[in-house]
Structure 1
Amino acid sequence: MSVKTEITRADILPWAEYARDRAEHRKRITAIKRNRRVEVGPFVTFYFENFDTMWLQVQEMLHIERGGDAQVSEELAAYNPLIPKGAELVATFMIEIDDPLRRARVLAGLGGIEETAFIEIGGERIVGKAETDQDRTTAEGKASSVQFVHFPFTQAQIDAFRQPNARAILGFSHPNYSHMAVMSEATREALARDFA
């Protein structure tokens, strides 16, 4: 089975067609997302992206904003970089704290957290690379609450990740947030399908 690594205009449904079947599309992608979510520590949730999750995001943006054909190019440029390209996993991670004062205090101490995300598999650590479209840590060291990170794998690391019941650990090495989580087998299996 080939892995789709880019959304093209041919993949985009016309507004009326998407609107008609929107509930079914959202239900289908929600089922896919279920095993692509990992909580790490008290505040961070990773959402691993793929063609389907980004396709829904593009369709939703077009549905809500109704920008027509002119908007399609913008959305494809924004979301295609977040689709794994065959030898990587890509995630959005969110730092989720309800209390605004506590959120501001915590984010002020998490500058550069996007550079410290990692996946460990087979005794090797794959360090994440932050999406480079914009800087998500301010000059004062405050982290953005939404981050995008790519985990580039070697073929040997992909092979190790694909092994049934392989122990895959997701975490951070940030001095103020050094939490880790072991991925469930269902999550590891779902993410293993992102590799070409």
Structure 2
Amino acid sequence: MHLTGNITPDSLMSLEAYAKWRKANKINVIAHRKLRSVALGEHITLQFESETTIRYQIQEMLRIERIFEEEGILAEIEAYTPLVPDGTNWKATLLIEYPDINERRRELARLIGVEDRMFVEVEGRERVYAIADEDLDRENDEKTSAVHFLRFEFSPAAMAAIKAGAGVKLGCDHRNYPAHVHIPAETLASLAGDLR
């Protein structure tokens, strides 16, 4: 997978080329995704996206759906590229996971607004709250969605602190899901690479 900083139809592999590449590289992409995943308590995980994860997602959708016409390829690019960090932020997929369907239904009702209470706290700096679901609203009066898309936008000072090695916490201050965790050093090193 060739990272270009800009995902275009010309920068994607054909279905045949991707099938060969996938066999040799799927394990590396899975390891990259795992490195950039942070569990927050038992039921929330943030998957911090990158050009690698989004390029892989697009290629997977093209493969699964057997999309090879330009219109379909452009639709997949348009759907997923807003999740690629652009130098001043981290972007993440928020997953709320409850295996039992009845518990999930009950908890999603209790967690309305949780996506707006997610934060990143750089050591010595103010909390940066997530900007959630910029593409469309994913909750209603009865429940929140199990999946949200978040953007954490950083000031130049916060970016400099992250790149200089400051500790960073990921947290949630929703009344029904208070939690925080220090982002592990290896994960933080990968995320720091998203910042210019």
RMSD: 1.3
- Conserved in 2, the CA contact under 8 Å of 1:121 and 1:169? yes
Q: Which moved more, 1:5-14 or 1:51-60?
A: 5-14
In structure 1, the residue matched to 2:30 is 30
In structure 2, the residue matched to 1:83 is 84
1:120 aligns with 2:118: no
Counterparts of 1:1-196 in structure 2, within 5 Å, are 5-69=5-69, 70-123=71-124, 124-140=126-142, 142-164=143-165, 166-196=166-196
SS of alignment partner, residue 148 of structure 1? strand
Consecutive aligned runs of 4 or more in structure 1 exceeding 3 Å deviation: 3-6
SS of alignment partner, residue 171 of structure 2? strand
Rounded to whole Å, the distance in 1 between the matches of 2:31 and 2:42 is 24
Which blocks of at least 5 consecutive residues in structure 1 are unaligned? none
- Deviation for aligned residue 1:4: 5.2
Residue 131 of structure 2 aligns with an amino acid whose one-letter code is K
- Conserved in 2, the CA contact under 8 Å of 1:110 and 1:176? yes
Deviations 1:157-191 (A, max 9, x none): 00111123x21100111111111111011011010
SS of alignment partner, residue 138 of structure 1? coil
Rounded to whole Å, the distance in 2 between the matches of 1:23 and 1:45 is 27
- Deviation for aligned residue 1:89: 0.2
SS of alignment partner, residue 115 of structure 1? helix
- Deviation for aligned residue 1:7: 1.1
- Conserved in 2, the CA contact under 8 Å of 1:54 and 1:82? yes
Rounded to whole Å, the distance in 2 between the matches of 1:24 and 1:192 is 27
- Conserved in 1, the CA contact under 8 Å of 2:7 and 2:77? yes
- Deviation for aligned residue 1:21: 2.1
Rounded to whole Å, the distance in 2 between the matches of 1:4 and 1:174 is 38
Q: Which moved more, 1:45-54 or 1:125-134?
A: 125-134
Rounded to whole Å, the distance in 2 between the matches of 1:174 and 1:23 is 42
SS of alignment partner, residue 167 of structure 2? coil
Residue 171 of structure 1 aligns with an amino acid whose one-letter code is G
Rounded to whole Å, the distance in 1 between the matches of 2:97 and 2:110 is 14
Rounded to whole Å, the distance in 2 between the matches of 1:86 and 1:153 is 9
- Conserved in 1, the CA contact under 8 Å of 2:4 and 2:11? no
Structure 1 length normalisation: TM-score?
Answer: 0.93
Structure 2 length normalisation: TM-score?
Answer: 0.93
Rounded to whole Å, the distance in 2 between the matches of 1:35 and 1:22 is 19
Count the aligned residue pairs.
192
Rounded to whole Å, the distance in 1 between the matches of 2:82 and 2:6 is 8
Rounded to whole Å, the distance in 2 between the matches of 1:32 and 1:42 is 21
Deviations 1:74-113 (A, max 9, x none): 1111110000011000000101110000010000111111
- Conserved in 2, the CA contact under 8 Å of 1:136 and 1:143? yes
Rounded to whole Å, the distance in 2 between the matches of 1:95 and 1:106 is 9
